[in-house]
């Protein structure tokens, strides 16, 4: 199977678990809150949004609640089926203009300058592996001049920090067998090739400066980066404790929102976010 086929196959089998991803743990909820905060100002009634790599449609439900008109797109026909089902369950089906099964690396079925806002959240571009530049160019092409593109990808050093703090993960074995786990290769090149003990298809992990340079090269303006989560990346157990106390949780959310776009934290979140204007 090639990269696109492996990704389709993986997410077709992953099914409903993708819809649940952002609500499994308090740290997932933080990811959801920060991703929404990053684009919130651009949403509104009548705004056209492409949700590229929409998965089960978790973000599109919120876009629709804000009155946006959505085009769903995913390489997995099963994820598109789930996303349409969820929007209908929330009685928001009328906000879906189109639901497309397609590859972000080639969006020929969409004309230039179509959307006010283009969103590619939850690391779809990481799954393009060595084809991510074509993907970013396509997201830029289908966005209207003056419109914005919002992306989140897997964070290169952030993934290691996340693994260090992951409950139940054997971090000692992981670090002691760094060649087996391709640790140096990922840190140097960003590429994690196919691996017998990694369920996901090959992925590219990004650094903040790398993504910033790609956005500049393509011609984006007003570029801003973020990391998610930020202060509490890799500290999932502590975040669970904090979540038990409403006031403490509200303070953490407030601190995360105040800090997630600060330069010092960008390379350490689980996700790296970037936005830019065409």
Ligand X SMILES: C[S@@+](CC[C@H](N)C(=O)[O-])C[C@H]1O[C@@H](n2cnc3c(N)ncnc32)[C@H](O)[C@@H]1O
Q: Which residues contact 274 (CB under 8 A, 6 or more apart)?
A: 150, 151, 152, 153, 211, 212, 215, 223, 224, 225, 226
**Binding flag, residue 124, ligand X (CB under 6 A):** yes
- Out of 127, 215, 260, 271, the residue judged to bind ligand X by CB under 6 A: 127
Nearer to ligand X, 78 or 256 (CB): 78
Could you tell me how many residues of this chain bind ligand X (CB under 6 A)? 23
Here's the x/- map for ligand X, 97-116, by CB under 6 A: it reads as ------xxx-----------
Residue 235 exposed, middle or buried by CB count within 10 Å (0-12, 13-18, 19+): middle
Sheet containing strand 115-120, strands side by side: 96-101, 69-74, 48-52, 115-120, 143-154, 271-277, 221-228
**Binding flag, residue 229, ligand X (CB under 6 A):** no
CB of 95 to ligand X, least distance (A): 17
- Out of 49, 58, 87, 202, the residue judged to bind ligand X by CB under 6 A: 58
- Out of 39, 128, 157, 231, the residue judged to bind ligand X by CB under 6 A: 128
CB of 250 to ligand X, least distance (A): 24
Nearer to ligand X, 15 or 93 (CB): 15
Nearer to ligand X, 105 or 269 (CB): 105
**Binding flag, residue 121, ligand X (CB under 6 A):** yes
Which runs of consecutive H residues, i.e. helices, occur in the chain? 3-14, 17-20, 26-39, 58-65, 77-89, 132-141, 156-164, 171-176, 183-189, 208-218, 236-243, 246-259
Please name which of 92, 91, 109 lies closest in space to residue 100, comparing C-alpha atoms: 109
Which tokens belong to 64?
């629709």
Q: Are strands 96-101 and 69-74 parallel, antiparallel or unpaired?
A: parallel
The one segment of 71-79, 136-144, 222-230, 242-250 that binds ligand X by CB under 6 A: 71-79
Peptide bond into 229 cis (omega under 30): yes
Q: Distance (Å, rounded) from C-alpha 276 to C-alpha 245?
A: 36
Number of H helices and E strands in the chain, helices first, is 12, 9
CB of 128 to ligand X, least distance (A): 5
- Measured over all CA atoms, what is the biggest interatomic distance in the chain, rounded to whole angstroms? 53
- Out of 27, 79, 155, 227, the residue judged to bind ligand X by CB under 6 A: 79
**Binding flag, residue 63, ligand X (CB under 6 A):** no
Which tokens belong to 37?
């905060």
Nearer to ligand X, 120 or 230 (CB): 120
Nearer to ligand X, 59 or 181 (CB): 59
- Out of 74, 84, 138, 207, the residue judged to bind ligand X by CB under 6 A: 74
Paired strand residues for 96: 70
Here's the x/- map for ligand X, 7-46, by CB under 6 A: it reads as x---x------x---x------------------------
Q: Distance (Å, rounded) from C-alpha 155 to C-alpha 270?
A: 6
The one segment of 37-45, 62-70, 84-92, 123-131 that binds ligand X by CB under 6 A: 123-131
Binding site for ligand X (CB under 6 A): 4, 7, 11, 18, 22, 53-55, 58-59, 74-76, 79, 103-105, 121-124, 127-128
């Amino acid at each position: 199977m090639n990269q696109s086929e492996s990704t389709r196959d993986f997410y077709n089998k992953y099914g409903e678990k993708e819809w649940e991803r952002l609500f499994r743990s308090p740290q997932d909820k933080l990811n959801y809150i920060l991703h929404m905060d990053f684009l919130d100002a651009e949403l509104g009634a009548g705004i056209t949004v492409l949700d590229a790599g929409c998965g089960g449609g978790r973000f599109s439900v919120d876009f629709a609640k804000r009155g946006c008109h959505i085009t769903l797109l995913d390489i997995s026909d099963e994820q598109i089926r789930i996303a349409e089902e969820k929007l209908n369950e929330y009685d928001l089906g009328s906000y879906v203009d189109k639901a497309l099964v397609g590859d972000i690396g080639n969006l020929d079925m969409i004309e230039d300058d179509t959307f006010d806002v283009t969103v590619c959240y939850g690391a779809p571009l990481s799954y393009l592996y060595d084809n991510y530049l074509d993907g970013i160019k396509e997201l830029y092409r289908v966005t209207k001049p003056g419109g914005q593109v919002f992306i989140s990808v897997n964070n290169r050093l952030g993934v290691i920090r996340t693994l260090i703090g992951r409950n139940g993960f054997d971090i000692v074995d992981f670090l002691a067998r760094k060649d087996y786990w391709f640790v140096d290769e990922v840190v140097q090149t960003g590429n994690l090739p196919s691996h017998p003990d990694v369920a996901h298809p090959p992925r590219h992990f990004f650094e903040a400066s790398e993504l910033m340079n790609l956005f500049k090269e393509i011609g984006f303006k007003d570029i801003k980066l973020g990391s998610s989560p930020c202060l509490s990346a890799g500290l999932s157990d502590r975040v669970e404790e904090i979540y038990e106390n409403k006031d403490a949780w509200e303070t953490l959310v407030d601190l995360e929102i105040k800090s997630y776009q600060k330069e010092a934290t960008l390379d350490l979140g689980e996700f790296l976010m970037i936005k830019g204007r065409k």
